[in-house]
Chains A and B, each alone.
Chain A
Amino acid sequence: MKTIAIDLDDTLNDFTATLRSTDFARDETHALSEDVFQDYLAKVRAGLPSVDGLLSTEYSFFRYKIHQQCYERARARADGADFLRRLRQAGWRIVICTQRDLRRAQDCTRSWLRDNAIPFDHLFMAGNKIVFCKVWGIEHLVDDHEFNIVHGSRYGVNVYYPATGRPAGEPAAPGAARPFSTFDEIMPWIQG
């Protein structure tokens, strides 16, 4: 069975645009002053990690809560959803592959996929998606992360990425990751 792995945030949805444009409201569950709330929010929008050497902090908890709101609010790419529906009809196995913490985000992720009529077979979280695709024998990965774009071809994983701010079309080198403007462009690349 042909299998494709596909990322969610900034690939199938507009996560970063949602993060930057949403007017997040402070409430008592944040347990933060307005100043701290705004400071943390600015850091989350800038993509900053915790800097105090701890794994779990007030800031990391806050960042997850903001991210979860974005998971719920982000808009699906219509062409991405349509692309996956056509793959499903053609008998492909579809693996949603994300860096989200699915321990906490599983429910909202499944709801979002259902609400947007996006078909899938399995939901996986993976810190290193190239390793995941390699060891699971998945040849095709749609993902926007620079690491995967750069390293996919070396490990035999064909990577396709949204051409946001980059020219779509042919890869920079034979076998290298391919940028696309619309998901339709991927279809002939993966037939073979």
Chain B
Amino acid sequence: MDPRVALLKEFYRGLPKDRVKLETQEHGFAFLEGLLSGGVVLEYGELTLSGLLHKYKLAQVPETRMDEFLLSHVEKACNVCLYFGDRANETFCFNLDNNQQGAGSATIPVMESAVRVLRETLVGAGCEPLIVASGRGYHAWCRLDGAVANERLYDLMLRAGVITVAALHRQGYDHHRVKFNFYPDPRTRDVVSLRLFGSLHAKNKVFSHVLAGDRLLDEAASWEYFAGHLRDKTLSVARFDAAHDALLKSSGF
């Protein structure tokens, strides 16, 4: 197995692997027939407005097919986006996206401030995230050594998000320019998926570079950082509980 695939499987081990959103330029009924072989089910497909980018939400994916998809993901032939577990998960993620229409492909200043404040907030609570660039925003992943109920994961993320938004407001930014989504969200856990680290963004074709400090690492260094984060920064559930308690106090609600 490609060592990058092994890393992905380990980092995202708690996420369901029997369903996936696949992003690819491939299309047509012959391709779809191959995609659905082995009992895979297409829930729906999508042709986006970005070139010929197609997205396929697939269910009943056998493990061997998921391994193939993950290999294609690290080889940049497609993107694998995974959904979160129904009740509890071992990873959670903040998705910070540009909420501004027609702002081009550049990252807006408020986004840079948002991701910096979010990181400081999480680190201050003892919960260091892995931050990767994604399109016009960032994904901030946290990994646990055991499953935590979705409601508790969401509550921690909501509090960290509120603290971040309040800080942006104090700094004079319009926080509406940044869209905060939390994964898993108990209301939408089977509706939205998140692209895994290690591939090219579907629209801008840029690798998911790791943000270390204030700079984006190159691809090789990003993989190295990813492996290091998996090894050294996985949170114990007890540590998560302590971080949650800290954010309960500092968020003020």
Q: What number of A residues sit within 8 Å (CB to CB) of B?
A: 24
Q: Could you tell me the distance between the alpha carbons of A78 and B102 in the complex, rounded to whole angstroms?
A: 41
Binding site for A on B (CB under 8 A): 27-29, 32, 42-49, 52, 57, 98-102, 176-177, 179, 188, 191-192
Q: Given A124-B45, A126-B46 in contact, is the A103-B99 Cβ separation under 8 Å? A: no
Q: Once the chains bind, are A122 and B45 in contact (CB under 8 Å)?
A: yes
Interface flags for A28-72 (1: CB within 8 Å of B; 0: not) read 000000000000000000000000011111000000000000000
Q: Within the assembled complex, what's the spacing in Å between the Cα atoms of A131 and B27?
A: 12
Selected from B44, B98, B99, B101, the residue in CB contact (under 8 A) with A124 is B44
A127 touches B42 (CB 8 A): no
B99→A56 contact, CB < 8 A: yes
Report the minimal beta-carbon distance from A80 to chain B, rounded to whole angstroms.
Answer: 20
In the complex, what residue of chain A is closest to B179 when comparing beta carbons?
Answer: A56
Contact status B47-A128, CB under 8 Å: yes
Choose among A103, A127, A136 the residue that contacts B27 (Cβ–Cβ < 8 A): A136
Q: List 22 A-B contacts (CB under 8 A).
A: A53-B100, A53-B102, A55-B99, A55-B100, A56-B99, A57-B176, A93-B29, A102-B44, A102-B46, A102-B57, A106-B43, A106-B57, A122-B32, A122-B42, A122-B44, A123-B44, A131-B52, A132-B47, A135-B47, A136-B29, A137-B28, A137-B29
Chain A interface, >50% SS class? mixed
Query: Which B residues lie within 8 Å of A103 (CB)?
Result: 191-192
Q: Is A20 in contact with chain B by the CB < 8 A criterion?
A: no
Q: Measured between C-beta atoms, what is the minimum distance from A181 to chain B in Å?
A: 30
Max chain B Cβ within 10 angstroms of own Cβ: one of A127, A128, A136: A136
- Residues of chain A from 86 to 144 with CB closer than 8 A to chain B in the complex: 93, 102-104, 106, 122-128, 131-132, 135-137
Q: How far is the CB of B226 from chain A (nearest CB, A)?
A: 27
Known contacts A54-B100, A55-B101: A128-B49 contact under CB 8 Å: yes
Pair count A-B, CB < 8 A? 64
A102 to B56, CA, bound (A): 11
Taking the complex as formed, is A3 at the interface, i.e. its CB lies under 8 A from any CB of chain B? yes
Q: Across the interface, do A123 and B100 meet the contact criterion of CB distance under 8 Å?
A: no
Contact A106 B176 (CB under 8 A): no
Chain B residues whose CB sits within 8 angstroms of the CB of A93 once the complex forms: 29
B residues less than 8 Å from A106 (CB atoms): 43-44, 57
Please state if B101 and A54 are interface contacts (CB–CB under 8 Å).
yes
Considering the complex, give the chain A residue whose CB is closest to the CB of B50: A127
Complex Cα–Cα for A136 and B100 (A): 32
The reply to whether A54 and B176 form a contact with Cβ atoms under 8 Å apart is yes
Question: How far does the alpha carbon of A106 sit from the alpha carbon of B99 in the complex, in Å?
Answer: 24
Interchain CB contact under 8 A, B47 and A127: yes
Q: Are A135 and B46 in contact (CB under 8 A)?
A: no
Q: Are A54 and B99 in contact (CB under 8 A)?
A: yes
A-chain residues with CB within 8 Å of residue B188 when the two chains form the complex? 104
Determine the chain B residues whose CB is within 8 A of the CB of A104 once the complex forms.
Answer: 188, 191
